[in-house]
Chain A
Amino acid sequence: MHIVRGSTARHHTHTAMEAPLGARLTLALSIFAFLSLLTTAFSQQIQILNAERRVDLTSHIVRVFLTLKVENTGTAPATEILLAFPPTQVDHLAVVKAQAATGKRKKQTYVPLDVKPTELPDAPNGTKYFIISLLSPLNSGETATLEVLYILTHSLEPFPAEISQSEPQLVYYHDSAIILSPYHIKQQTTFIKTPTAKVESFTRVEPTNRVSTELKYGPYEDRPPYSFSPIIVHFENNNPFAVVEEIVREVEISHWGNLQITEHYKLVHTGARHKGVFSRVDYQSRPSFSGVSSFKHLLARLPPRVHSVYYRDEIGNISSSHLRTDNRKSELEIEPRYPLFGGWKATFVIGYGLPLQDFLFESSDGKRYLNFSFGCPLAETSVDKLTIKVVLPEGSKDPSAVVPFSVEQRLETKYSYLDVVGRTVLVLEKKNLVPEHNSPFQVYYTFNQIFMLAEPLMLVSAFFFFFVACVAYLHIDLSIRK
């Protein structure tokens, strides 16, 4: 039941320190309550018996686990459940996953459910919806338990926005104490987990209490649809706010047995901006006080059997990296050239080769397919924009991609070593990614083995003609006079 989030709420964040929170909250609440009376038409047949929400704020990626126990109170069977998000959250929403718990308590299994964004005509104040399709229709009077995970990026706002080297990093988290839902919720609780016990302030919506790193809102009883109660948590978070602004991954398939991956990164620290002096002597001698929110290590998880790894930027190799390999995974620990403080940027390239047989397979219909992992291999970073370019061998036809989530696709042509017609490049683009997107995707294509010989034959014939020309030159007398 969120209303004027677009104007009021944002305004609210700016005035939070000056105006008393309570007065504004009551005002907002009354507006929400008023509006909720207007828009309750379609959702009356389902109500939520119990909702439990756990918000994990330990890193800069916000993960929210929502457990809903829904009941069909209407007469017709229900096949879909709606999730509502305020529009500001939707922009930062990277993943929404849902699964249904089936079976009894002991041998409970989870079945993933289909989640799709949807539009409703009478959505109040720009509320956005996701629709969960149930496996089997929920008959009248039945209950079901749903587990929902959604992940938000760029949702922690540093305050103060600029800090010096010796200060810790404090951030705001905005949310609602009451779960925004188109349904009536009988009972709900929200737990917010902060990385440390250092919480500067938080909005109280009674009953509220805090035990070390956990804030508990609720339980709240019998809240009407679209109830909303804005809260702000101001806490210390010194985890690296490593955000990849843009990553371009180029996967080049060579049927001679190699898969070459080149990844171009644009990295930025999105935490509180560093201001003033950077003192190396403080940074080196007092690491626990100085630059606590900065980071200098990053971990990239690469596939096993990786070889020829390099890590460089536009001005040369970056020597500070370590590669650990075993037969299940490879870990590449990289250090940017300099420690990254808030607002500092770095660009670099990681490249590596992989054995082709681990990733390229032949499907039953004679097509080949590449099975590779989507997403960014850096641990615990969010990605604003990811582009994967799958460079197929020269002469490949009919490329098609199978990706578990929606992406933008297009085709390009690339000319590489001695290409004549060019290689087909399948470009996949997606915005706002989190590590949860690192799931495999497939690219299918057809390829005739004979094309592999094209380039060696070209070289052979070039040399052949060169030698023929040499022989001819030596045997022809070009002098005019004898």
Chain B
Amino acid sequence: MADPENAKEATTLRYAFGNVLSFFILLLIGVLAFWIRLFSVIKYESVIHEFDPYFNYRVTQFLTKNGIYDFWNWFDDRTWYPLGRVIGGTVYPGLTLTAGTIWWILNSLNIPLSVETVCVFTAPIFSAFASWATYLLTKEVKGAGAGLTAAALLAMVPSYISRSVAGSYDNEAVAIFALIFTFYLYIKTLNTGSLFYATLNALAYFYMVCSWGGYTFIINLIPMHVLLCIVTGRYSSRLYIAYAPLVVLGTLLAALVPVVGFNAVMTSEHFASFLVFIIIHVVAFVYYIKGILSPKMFKVAVTLVVSVGLVVCCAVMAILIALVASSPTKGWSGRSLSLLDPTYASKYIPIIASVSEHQPPTWPSYFMDINVLAFLVPAGIIACFLPLSDASSFVVLYIVTSVYFSGVMVRLMLVLAPAACVMSGIALSESFSVFTRSIKFQLHGLSGSSQVDSGDASSSTVVAQNDAGKAEKTEDTAKERPSKKSKKKEKGIVDKPSLKAKIERRLLVLPFEASIFAILLLVLLGAFYVVHCVWAAAEAYSAPSIVLTSYSHDGGLHVFDDFREAYAWLSHNTEVDDKVASWWDYGYQTTAMANRTVIVDNNTWNNTHIATVGTAMSSPEKAAWEIFNSLDVKYVLVVFGGLVGYPSDDINKFLWMVRIGGGVFPHIKEPDYLRDGQYRIDSQATPTMLNCLMYKLSYYRFVETDGRGFDRVRQTEIGKKNFKLTHFEEVFTTHHWMVRIYKLKPPRNRIRGKTKKPRSQKTSSTTRTKRSAATKRNPWH
């Protein structure tokens, strides 16, 4: 640094070059995040995936067709017949409003994309946004290098890909972006103490509340971090600015979302934030008092306040506890309770336990979903402690809590993924900087180490920038508020004090060969990650689940498009107002694709209603007919995989129907369907099982396909082969038998007196008693 002018020019140029480079790297990361999610479109087609996205798609269609006001007031009579559902008040509107806005903008620019296309590509677009948000977040924590690495990792993390492939039009797709962006703005406010960012933070939180129920994670994590900061003596006015406006504005904004409403202040999920809000004010007040009083006076004040405060606190706590305890679930919703106590759901709420994504994950699923990141996370945590700042303590807290939550519910792996990416990004970037610095030092050590400083500049800025936040703040009072451009100059100033650290670090260099080898290993690890992610995106997570494909022996592609075949048939060949009963899994798809009224759907808000359908499915034909008839059902749809070996069919889900049905109507007993605790449909099965509606509708005339009725999913011959249906008739079965639709036969005009023939005396009497029992317990009578 002989000539300061020259050096300054050189660093300016370096910054400019670095910025341009980072910009292009970010652009490419965005492109990568978008493109890696298009495997589903290329391998299959541009179509909405799975179950929930169909509902979101249908809502978006309604929104684009009828406008925002009709959307808020939408009462949907196509579902939960005869109850209906108030869509505007029970849906998180963020995703639909986002896609609707995109569609509206495109159409007002005369780009006539269909609503479906916009919906299909919303998730990939928001993945790109999410990776950029990750860059911003990690940059705030550990500098631009770590930011870029973390963004690249997030762009292709399989866990996130599984929820955001093109066509996976679900809340999580935009919510993860909102989550990361809210965290970024929180950290940014924490680092700068700017009210501008605090306001933005509240808005980002509002968007998150609009998008996903997972917003409660934010409103619990941030108070936890604030508390952590206070406890560890890191309280500052920046912390206050970062937190207080978020709680006030955020809660007010959250209460604007109809689905949240007064829950924002009434439910236990939000109490932590209010408690911390009070604490931070107390702490702020204490700091303020401490500033204006002499130490002696302060001590007196403390004793006074603590004694009075304790009494008041006890009173308030007692009232609160009494209030919370008076509500049956202690003010917590079932899903949140099962978060805290993983066994809660399986014990009390079968409907929550029955959803596969609410199960706890297995170890392989961690490796599948975050892959090598699982090994890099510990290194990242260590890097966060060198040195520990407000920001890095936040990400440490984030990863710890999200690891816990992901262990409870496989769905929350999605929340873990960004944290793991941030941590791994920090770990990778830090280790690269250590190794490259070692190499540089060794190389320069050979040729004389006069010019090390300039080489070190890049890595030291990482630390420098981190310090910059604090440095800025301390200088703020003395100096003018730095404008955007003068900030860069300031970094040059901050470089100087870090010189000391640099000398210390020179002692920490590694041997040359070891560094080279370690870098090679890291690159290999990264390459492995990339290969795994591409494989996961292409093979594991791109199937839309409504279309199945298999390769035949000669390499030809065989398509199983039975679901849409059935839905198209329903939509074209039944009356518009016909009601279709099926297990709730297919409710959203039936309303969206077939446009028919369903009894229950994937929004499992009414357990009794679902239990009624479950009871009907597990009852004998006559009783089932009566339940369905009382619900005005005209068609019953069952999914049957036995012919082609499709494992997630209704027979495999049947025990859940029995359990959920039995939970409300006790005459359905699970042991009646199990032989010695085993679930089976072969000749050993119980008579209750072989006579229930689900069995009959699934296997009706199945034996005629191959002569012996061999079920390819259960790998066994079915128990009861030849039987007739008396109250239902088959009206449609798809090409591969995967969907079978039955129609309820109309009731007979008159009941003949002599129904009881002598030879069928026994059976008819048993059905009669059962029937009378069923009618009594049927809630629709």
Contacts and interface: CB of A to CB of B under 8 A. Distances in A.
B110 A416 contact: yes
A482 B732 contact: no
Count chain A CB atoms within 10 A of each CB in B110, B483, B568, B573 and give the residue with the most: B568
A479 B483 contact: yes
A418 B559 CA distance: 37
A217 to B, nearest CB: 40
A285 interface: yes
Interface string A306-342: 0000000101111110000000000000000110000
Contact of A281 (B561, B705, B729, B732): B705
Contact of A318 (B561, B593, B729): B561
Contacts of B568: 313, 315, 337-338, 346
Interface in A182-214: none
Contacts of A343: 573
A416 B704 CA distance: 54
Contacts of A344: 569, 572-573
A267 to B, nearest CB: 9
A417 interface: yes
Count chain B CB atoms within 10 A of each CB in A278, A281, A338, A482 and give the residue with the most: A338
B111 A315 contact: no
Interface in B20-54: 45, 47
B733 A317 contact: no
B564 A315 contact: yes
Given A285-B704, A319-B561, A345-B573, A338 B732 contact: yes
Contacts of B556: none
A244 B457 CA distance: 74
A416 B701 CA distance: 52
B36 to A, nearest CB: 22
Interface string A409-427: 0000001111110000000
A277 interface: yes
Contacts of B572: 344-347
Nearest to B572: A345
Nearest to A422: B110
Contacts of A345: 572-573
Interface string A447-482: 000000000000000000000000000000101011
A276 interface: yes
B109 interface: yes
A279 interface: yes
Contact of A280 (B45, B484, B733): B733
Contact of A338 (B47, B112, B483, B734): B734
B429 to A, nearest CB: 27
Contacts of A417: 110-112
A278 B559 contact: no
B729 A276 contact: yes
B632 interface: no
A416 to B, nearest CB: 6
B483 A277 contact: no
B480 A278 contact: no
Interface in B553-586: 559, 561, 564-565, 567-569, 572-573
Interface in B96-130: 109-112
A277 B47 contact: no
A418 B737 contact: no
Contacts of B483: 477, 479, 482
Interface in B465-518: 480-481, 483-485
Interface string A276-290: 111111001100000
B269 interface: no
B110 A418 contact: yes
Interface string A331-366: 000000110000111110000000000000000000
Contacts of B561: 318-320, 337
B47 A317 contact: yes
Contacts of B76: none
A278 B733 contact: yes
Contact of B701 (A281, A338, A420): A281
B731 interface: yes
B731 A278 contact: yes
Contacts of A285: 704-705
B517 to A, nearest CB: 43
A346 B572 CA distance: 6
10 contacts: A280-B734, A285-B705, A315-B564, A316-B47, A318-B561, A337-B564, A338-B732, A417-B111, A417-B112, A418-B110
Instruction: Rank and list the top 6 A-B pairs by shortest CB-CB distance, nearest first.
Output: A280-B733, A479-B483, A319-B559, A316-B47, A317-B45, A345-B572
Interface of A: 276-281, 284-285, 313, 315-320, 337-338, 343-347, 415-420, 477, 479, 481-482
